């Protein structure tokens, strides 16, 4: 089946087979029929046939518990290699049919249960273990159910076309060496408009209106002026060449560690990889861009 | 996975089902087993509540040991059915204390179905069947609970689901029940040992038939092919008792009778002694289990073609196996007959044999009557007249008699039940050399017009006599009719009406209220229902199946029957499938389409329906033309829908469309008011 972001299950996609318990149950029925024959007891026959019919009817109910269900790809959250990446899957039902005890996931030993009873839509957060950095597609997801009686297992493998980014596994690499290129540049650039907020003081005549803390004024009736301090920050360059002799993954892991470290500080940081350069910057989006670059840098196909 | 916790839903139903399934067995179980069951359930509840932990290995071994010893002591044997059922129940309960995996839950549930089955070895009536059906629903609910997510905590819903599943299975079950080729047993199986022998016995001592009449249990039901003969003619012959030891009457030694007349063998020579005269009466009898070997028939029956049954020399039927389950047999009888017209001297001797000692006064009485009577016929008449004229009383409470019971009855107490009259009558006959014998069985019954059958209960048990006369053979003489003709005409209840002894030990018996019309009506209805159940469900044996199916399909062999069964089963399964899977009307709509269509319906209510095939943008333009006030809402909803329609299918965005529609609804409300 080709990958797709929303799949409605129907008979082409659902497989169904008896479970071990189902086979045991059918042996029980055979045993009961033999008891009925030997005791010439009609009601034992009746019970055996009732259970045999239940066995057959349960096929339909188990099938029904998947059929018509729509599974959609929801959002994903990136992860560092070795951690679990989060994939959100949305199950939805239309009409009166409800779904119960659905099990889903990518790892058959670690399936997550979900019910779709009163809700028409339910989001299930699934975690998939990551191993290597790069763009990760967890592959086909398993959705299965034993409901209602556990005698049959209905299942389907779905290719939901979900991807997430796996960042390199961070590896501590000691103190950050300030790259020579940074210090030799020597100039500190006074930038405008990107100053950091510092504090508030009483409004004084002549303060620019756009620096007045209007929100605070609305709350307290006091005119205050926002103060901005302009720091002559250090700008850090993270260099591919910091780690001579190391292989690619080892370098990326250490660079990743520093990105995380620098992100908690106040420094602006940039990245230089062979053929890639990201100008120094700060903030979540910058961090994201850095990590993404590290994750996707010369990724081997198929990872 | 040692930390497995059975879902609460499942455990609750498991315990409930277990209790319900075991309950009917309790009267047959030893106290130690009951105590063990109770203790195991208690322990399991404690484990669930986290107060106790699962028992260790040695504790479990101890339990098993204690349980088996308890069963052994309680039943005294491990042979027969009851100890095995006890063992099964014990395993079923002990398994509760060993639920470490989901698999163990399945084992408990499968054992539960099996314990439910064993109940049918003991009881097969409608009430028990309904009860067991509820038990099976409960077991199934436990099975469903085992497969629900742990967050599902609504046991009633689970029970409902189980009921739905089983009710959908019932039609399929009926197809299998009717069409599954029934075959005869593959091997012999242990039978229940606790069934009491019921009905008339092969020994008649004064008092034991009177005791039998204290019971209102069903003996058998007889369905007649044509008109039902009058109740007074219904003498259901069961046993012939011809040996008297001074106290009780017993059967003739079987060895003296010679061969039986049975369908698979050529008729024995004594078969020629039967002359069947007059009209034939065809009927079938559905006999309740008696754990005895004798069968009941109207005098005088032709032979039978049912296997396993034979006609004995004294013209009554004998089953080669003890009757442990309901037995149906079909017979033809002739109410007029002449049997043993010529009686061999040996038999004349046997049938006039009396103990040398004992009952001297009765012997003198017989001789004095004999002296007054010109011939044998007159003698018989004089004896009966004596019963009729002297103050003999027909009573269910005769006094206890001593060693010379016949003397005491005939000359002192003069109070007795049918066995007193029959026994002493034969005694008086034999004293003067007239061959005579006692016959026991049932007399009369109750005609059920709803089901068109005669129902015979234990209180219809009766004893009468047969006297051999030259040229006529054995002639039935019922001395009771000389004392209490109403016993024969209307039944025991009327015969003992004055003394208030009818079923005096059963104050609530239905049978005591025969005069209350509406109660009788209900009773007859219930009885008819139970008769249909017994004949068509419980009594659905291989032969009944063959005759029923032959009626509709003509002759068919097993292979063909199997094919008919499979094809009907799967066609019906198809119907059930349509029923279960049918409702899937708008299952293929995407959430945004569904929301948009709901919105269109809202507008249609305002008189602005969307035409077939009209695109959202055209529709919006048309709506705005007639209702300019809706323009902003229309624009927002339509834009959102169109945008989402071509955007990536992100479910979160459905919410934005819903929001837009909500805004429309709000505005619309404002414009309406």
Out of A77-81, A264-268, B59-63, B521-525, least confident range:
A264-268
Q: A150, B591: Cβ pair inside 8 Å? A: no
Q: What is the pLDDT of residues B299-345, one digit of tens each?
A: 888 878 888 888 988 889 999 888 877 888 989 999 888 888 888 88
**Chain B residues touching residue A44 (CB < 8 angstroms):** 117, 120-121
pLDDT band at A190 (very low <50, low <70, confident <90, very high): very low
**pLDDT over 90 (residue B662):** no
pLDDT band at A182 (very low <50, low <70, confident <90, very high): very low
B35 and B58 Cβ atoms separated by less than 8 Å: no
Element (H or E) spanning B523, and its range? helix B517-532
**pLDDT over 60 (residue B1):** no
Residues 591-610 of B with CB under 8 A from A: 591, 594
pLDDT band at A22 (very low <50, low <70, confident <90, very high): very high
Residue A183, pLDDT score = 41
B173 touches chain A (CB under 8 A): yes
Q: Which site among B147, B327, B538 would you substitute to test the A interface, given the most A Cβ atoms closer than 10 Å to its Cβ? A: B147
Q: A53, B325: Cβ pair inside 8 Å? A: no
Mean pLDDT computed over B258-275: 84
Q: B537, A95: Cβ pair inside 8 Å? A: no
Residue B365, pLDDT score = 92
**pLDDT over 90 (residue B643):** no
Cα angle A145-A148-A149, degrees, rounded to a multiple of 5: 105
**pLDDT over 90 (residue A61):** yes
pLDDT band at B574 (very low <50, low <70, confident <90, very high): very high
When comparing pLDDT for A12 and B354, which is higher? B354
Nearest to B189 among A8, A39, A70 (CB): A39
**Chain B residues touching residue A109 (CB < 8 angstroms):** none
C-alpha neighbours within 13 Å on the C-beta side of residue A58: 30
Q: What is the pLDDT of residues B458-481, one digit of tens each?
A: 989 999 999 999 888 999 999 988
Residue A3, pLDDT score = 55
Q: Could you please report the per-residue DSSP string of B408-465? A: IIIIII-EE-HHHHHHHHHHHHHHTT--EEEEEEEE--EEETTTTEEEEEGGGEEEEE
pLDDT band at A197 (very low <50, low <70, confident <90, very high): low
Q: Indicate the domain borders of chain B.
A: 8-148, 203-517, 591-672
**pLDDT over 90 (residue B258):** no
Nearest to B587 among A6, A49, A94 (CB): A94
Out of A229-233, B80-84, B116-120, B173-177, least confident range:
A229-233
Residue B237, pLDDT score = 93
Element (H or E) spanning A224, and its range? strand A224-229
- Annotated catalytic residues of B are 418, 462, 478
Q: Could you please report the per-residue DSSP string of B576-610? A: HHHHHH---TTTT--HHHHHHHHHHHHHHHTT-PP
Give B391 to chain A, closest Cα distance, Å. Answer: 52
Q: A95, B585: Cβ pair inside 8 Å? A: yes
When comparing pLDDT for A2 and B233, which is higher? B233
C-alpha neighbours within 13 Å on the C-beta side of residue B215: 14
Closest residue in chain B to residue A38, using alpha carbons only: B185
d(CA B404, CA A250): 117
d(CA A45, CA A33): 6
Residue A76, pLDDT score = 87
Q: A147, B144: Cβ pair inside 8 Å? A: yes
Residue B463, pLDDT score = 92
Mean pLDDT computed over A131-138: 87
Out of A14-18, B4-8, B240-244, least confident range:
B4-8
Residue A228, pLDDT score = 61
pLDDT band at B589 (very low <50, low <70, confident <90, very high): low
Place of tokens 């003969």: B229
Nearest to B177 among A45, A54, A74 (CB): A45
B1 touches chain A (CB under 8 A): no
Q: B176, A53: Cβ pair inside 8 Å? A: yes
**Chain B residues touching residue A72 (CB < 8 angstroms):** 649, 651
When comparing pLDDT for B290 and A15, which is higher? A15
When comparing pLDDT for B558 and B363, which is higher? B363
Element (H or E) spanning B548, and its range? helix B542-553
Q: A90, B594: Cβ pair inside 8 Å? A: no
Out of A258-262, B519-523, B604-608, B647-651, least confident range:
B647-651
B577 touches chain A (CB under 8 A): yes
Peptide bond preceding B454 in cis form (omega within 30 of 0): no
**pLDDT over 50 (residue A56):** yes
ipTM: 0.78
**pLDDT over 50 (residue A232):** no
Q: Which site among B149, B533, B570 would you substitute to test the A interface, given the most A Cβ atoms closer than 10 Å to its Cβ? A: B149
Residue B601, pLDDT score = 75
**pLDDT over 50 (residue B644):** yes
Nearest to A38 among B129, B186, B540 (CB): B186
Nearest to B110 among A24, A45, A70 (CB): A24
d(CA B425, CA B443): 18
**pLDDT over 90 (residue A60):** yes
Residue B192, pLDDT score = 61
Residue A4, pLDDT score = 63
What is the share, in percent, of chain B residues with pLDDT greater than 70? 93
Give B158 to chain A, closest Cα distance, Å. Answer: 9
d(CA B86, CA B193): 13
The strand ranges marked E within B122-265 are: 203-204, 218-224, 235-244, 249-251
Q: What are phi and psi of B115, to 5 degrees?
A: -65, -35
**pLDDT over 60 (residue B210):** yes
Ranked by mean pLDDT, which of B7-16, B54-63, B112-121, B620-629 comes out on top?
A: B112-121
Mean pLDDT computed over B217-246: 90
Mean pLDDT computed over A88-113: 86
**pLDDT over 70 (residue A277):** yes
Q: What 3-state DSSP class applies to B394?
A: strand
d(CA B244, CA B359): 12
Mean pLDDT computed over A180-204: 52
User: B110: which 2 tokens?
Assistant: 């499968």
Out of A174-188, B14-28, B336-350, least confident range:
A174-188
**Chain A residues touching residue B649 (CB < 8 angstroms):** 5-6, 72
């Amino acid at each position: 089946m080709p990958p797709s972001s929303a799949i409605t299950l129907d008979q082409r996609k659902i497989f169904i087979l008896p479970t071990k318990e189902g086979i045991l149950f059918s042996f029980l029925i055979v045993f009961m029929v033999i008891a009925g024959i030997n005791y010439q007891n009609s009601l034992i026959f009746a019970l055996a046939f009732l259970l045999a019919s239940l066995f057959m009817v349960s096929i339909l109910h188990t099938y029904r518990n998947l059929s018509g269900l729509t599974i959609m790809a929801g959002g994903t959250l990136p992860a560092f290699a070795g951690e679990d990446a989060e994939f959100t899957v949305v199950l939805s039902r239309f009409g009166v049919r409800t779904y119960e005890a659905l099990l889903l996931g990518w790892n058959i030993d670690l399936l997550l249960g979900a019910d779709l009873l009163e809700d028409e839509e339910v989001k299930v957060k699934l975690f998939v273990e990551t191993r290597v950095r790069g763009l990760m597609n967890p592959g086909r997801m398993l959705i299965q159910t034993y409901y209602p009686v556990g005698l049959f297992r209905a299942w389907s493998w779905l290719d939901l076309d979900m991807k997430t980014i796996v960042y390199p596994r961070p590896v501590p690499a000691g103190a950050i060496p300030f790259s020579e290129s940074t210090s030799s540049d020597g100039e500190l650039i006074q930038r405008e408009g990107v100053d950091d907020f510092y504090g508030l003081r009483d409004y004084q005549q002549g303060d620019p209106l756009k620096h007045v803390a209007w929100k605070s004024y609305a709350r307290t009736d006091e005119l205050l002026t926002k103060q901005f301090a302009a720091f002559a920050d250090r700008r850090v360059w993270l260099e591919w060449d910091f780690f001579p002799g190391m292989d690619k993954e080892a370098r990326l892991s250490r660079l990743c560690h520093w990105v995380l470290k620098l992100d908690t500080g106040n420094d602006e940081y940039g990245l230089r990889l062979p053929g890639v350069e990201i100008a120094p910057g700060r903030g979540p989006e910058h961090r994201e861009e850095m990590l993404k670059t590290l994750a996707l840098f010369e990724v081997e196909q198929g990872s | 996975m040692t930390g497995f916790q059975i879902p609460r839903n499942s455990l609750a139903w498991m315990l409930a089902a277990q209790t319900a399934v075991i309950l009917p067995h309790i009267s047959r179980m030893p106290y130690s087993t009951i105590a063990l069951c109770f203790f195991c359930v208690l322990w399991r509840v404690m484990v669930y509540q986290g107060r106790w932990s699962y028992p260790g290995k040695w504790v479990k071994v101890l339990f098993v040991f204690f349980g088996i010893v308890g069963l052994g002591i309680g039943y005294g044997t491990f042979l027969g059915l009851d100890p095995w059922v006890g063992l099964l129940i014990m395993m079923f309960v002990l398994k509760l204390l060993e639920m470490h995996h989901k698999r163990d839950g399945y084992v408990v549930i499968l054992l539960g179905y099996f314990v439910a089955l064993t109940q049918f070895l003991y009881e097969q009536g409608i009430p028990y069947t309904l009860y067991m059906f509820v038990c099976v629903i409960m077991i199934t609910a436990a099975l469903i609970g085992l497969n629900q997510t742990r967050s599902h905590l609504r046991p009633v819903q689970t029970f409902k689901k189980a009921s739905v599943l089983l009710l959908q299975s019932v039609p399929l079950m009926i197809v299998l029940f009717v069409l599954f080729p029934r075959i005869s047993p593959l091997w012999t199986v242990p039978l229940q040992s606790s069934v009491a022998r019921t009905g008339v016995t092969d020994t008649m001592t004064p008092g034991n038939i009177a005791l039998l009449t204290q019971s209102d249990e069903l003996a058998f039901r007889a369905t007649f092919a044509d008109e039902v003969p009058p109740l007074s003619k219904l003498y259901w012959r069961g046993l012939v008792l011809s040996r008297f030891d001074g106290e009780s009457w017993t059967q003739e030694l079987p060895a003296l009778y010679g061969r039986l007349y049975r369908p698979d063998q050529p008729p024995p020579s004594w078969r020629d002694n039967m002359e069947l005269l007059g009209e034939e009466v065809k009927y079938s009898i559905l006999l309740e289990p008696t754990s005895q070997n004798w069968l009941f028939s109207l005098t005088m029956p032709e032979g039978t073609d049912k296997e396993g049954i034979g006609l004995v020399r004294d013209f009554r039927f004998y089953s080669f196996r003890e009757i442990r389950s309901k037995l149906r047999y079909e017979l033809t009888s002739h109410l007029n007959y002449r049997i043993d017209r010529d009686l061999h001297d040996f038999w004349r001797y046997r049938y006039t044999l009396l103990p040398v000692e004992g009952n001297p006064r009765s012997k003198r009485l017989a001789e004095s009557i004999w002296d007054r009577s010109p011939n044998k016929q007159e003698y018989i008449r004089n004896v009966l007249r004596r019963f009729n004229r002297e103050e003999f009383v027909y009573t269910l409470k005769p006094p206890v008699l001593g060693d010379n019971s016949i003397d005491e009855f005939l000359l002192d107490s003069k109070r007795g039940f049918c066995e007193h009259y029959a026994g002493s009558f034969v005694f008086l006959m034999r004293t003067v050399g007239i061959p005579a014998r006692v016959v026991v069985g049932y007399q009369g019954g109750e005609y059920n017009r709803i089901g068109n059958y005669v129902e015979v209960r234990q209180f219809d048990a009766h004893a009468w006599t047969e006297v051999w006369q030259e040229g006529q053979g054995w002639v039935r003489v019922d001395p009771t009719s000389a004392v209490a003709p109403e016993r024969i005409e209307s039944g025991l209840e009327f015969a003992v009406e004055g003394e208030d002894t009818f079923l005096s030990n059963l104050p609530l018996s239905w049978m005591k209220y025969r005069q209350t019309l509406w109660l009788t009506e209900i009773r007859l209805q219930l009885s008819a229902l139970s008769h249909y159940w017994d004949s068509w469900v419980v009594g659905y044996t291989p032969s009944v199946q063959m005759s029923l199916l032959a009626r509709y399909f003509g002759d068919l062999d097993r292979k063909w029957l199997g094919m008919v069964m499979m094809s009907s089963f799967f066609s019906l399964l198809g119907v059930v499938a349509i029923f279960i899977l049918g409702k899937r009307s708008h299952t293929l709509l995407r959430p945004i389409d569904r929301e948009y269509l709901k919105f269109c319906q809202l507008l249609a209510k305002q008189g602005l329906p969307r035409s077939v095939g009209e695109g959202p943008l055209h529709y919006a333009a048309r709506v705005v033309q007639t209702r300019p006030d809706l323009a902003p809402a229309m624009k927002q909803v339509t834009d959102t829908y169109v945008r989402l329609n071509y955007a990536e299918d992100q479910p979160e965005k459905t919410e934005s469309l819903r929001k837009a529609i909500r805004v429309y609804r709000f505005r619309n409300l404002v414009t309406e008011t």
